A = this chain, B = another copy of it.
Amino acid sequence: VSQHISLFFLFMHLQLIGSGAAAQVVTSRGTHGNYLTIQLGSALGAVFGIFVARGVSGAHLNPVYSLSLCVLGRHPWKKLPLYSLSHLVGAFLGAATVYLQYYDAIQTFSGGELLVAGPNATAGIFCSYPADHLSFWGGLVDQVVATALFLLCCVALEDQRNGPLPDGLHPVLVGALILTMGVSMGSNCGFPLNPARDLGPRLFTFVAGWGEEVFKAGGGWWWVPIVAPFVGGLLGTVTYELLIEAHHQTTPQSPQQEQEAVELEEVVVDSGNNR
């Protein structure tokens, strides 16, 4: 239970801080931030989400990451549905909190109309929509490439055999990685990368008054940031395992190091089983 609470918190932070940054820029029409501050908000939301949750549930920042661990046999499959549900509920309630906090600002900005497109649109505060230039296939490619890169780097940062990290640097680097995505792969469709963080807030905007347009917009865009990240995430994880980690395993290590590595993985799996 505690793990689900902590994942719930992680996603609430992720959504609250990331979407808050977008709400601030949109509703102030750019006077209180710009594209870079939105990216910083997404990154810092991840940093502090992980710092809050890391002691209890580890850094399961993304259902795609959890799925990848299951595929690799490092996480039990039966935990995946409840994990994903915690992600989804956390992101949903994070979006609700952003709406509560920016209620006056959103009402004033939009003149009371909750719109998905046009100059007074506010739905983009909460979840991703494709840019006008983006084709359907372009969107799929963008999200597969971006999530593959994202997961490849996530797995590399976690890989103790690839090189150690000081305690406390890991969450900061994950934040830097999200900033990287925003800076280099954000203009096509806003780097969703995360099915739960995209679907949860979309469901919230659906019930909160933006209506079914949130699912219809962009030619039914909504399912692309759910499906494509899983494909890209698996691609990135498997690429890392085959091309980088395979070479660690053939590298002779001292018995002590091997032992440590094994114990480390056991702890991770364990914490997945026993709580």
Q: Using CB atoms and an 8 Å cutoff, list the residues of chain A in contact with chain B.
A: 2, 5-6, 9, 13, 16-18, 20-21, 23-24, 27-28, 31-37, 39-41, 44-45, 47-48, 51-56, 97, 100-105, 107-109, 131-135, 138, 141-142, 145-146, 149, 152-153, 156-157, 159, 161-169, 172-173, 176-177, 179-180, 183-188, 240, 243-244, 246-248, 275
Contacts and interface: CB of A to CB of B under 8 A. Distances in A.
Given A9-B243, A133-B104, A164-B168, A184 B152 contact: no
Given A163-B54, A168-B166, A184 B41 contact: yes
A17 B148 CA distance: 13
Given A41-B184, A149-B13, A166-B168, A55 B159 contact: yes
A179 B44 contact: yes
A32 B186 contact: yes
Given A33-B35, A101-B185, A179 B40 contact: yes
Contacts of A47: 176, 180
A33 to B, nearest CB: 6
Contacts of A180: 17, 41, 44-45, 47-48
A55 B149 contact: no
A33 B181 CA distance: 12
A241 to B, nearest CB: 12
A36 B36 CA distance: 9
Q: Which of A101, A179, A183 has the most CB of B within 10 A?
A: A183
A183 B39 CA distance: 10
A159 to B, nearest CB: 7
A184 B17 contact: yes
Contacts of A240: 52
A100 B141 contact: yes
A183 B44 contact: yes
Contacts of A173: 51, 168, 172
A224 to B, nearest CB: 14
Given A161-B55, A163-B168, A176-B44, A104 B134 contact: yes
10 contacts: A5-B247, A6-B244, A17-B180, A21-B184, A24-B186, A28-B131, A33-B187, A51-B156, A100-B145, A166-B166
A16 B166 contact: no
Contacts of A32: 35, 186-187
Contacts of A244: 2, 5-6, 9, 52-53, 55-56
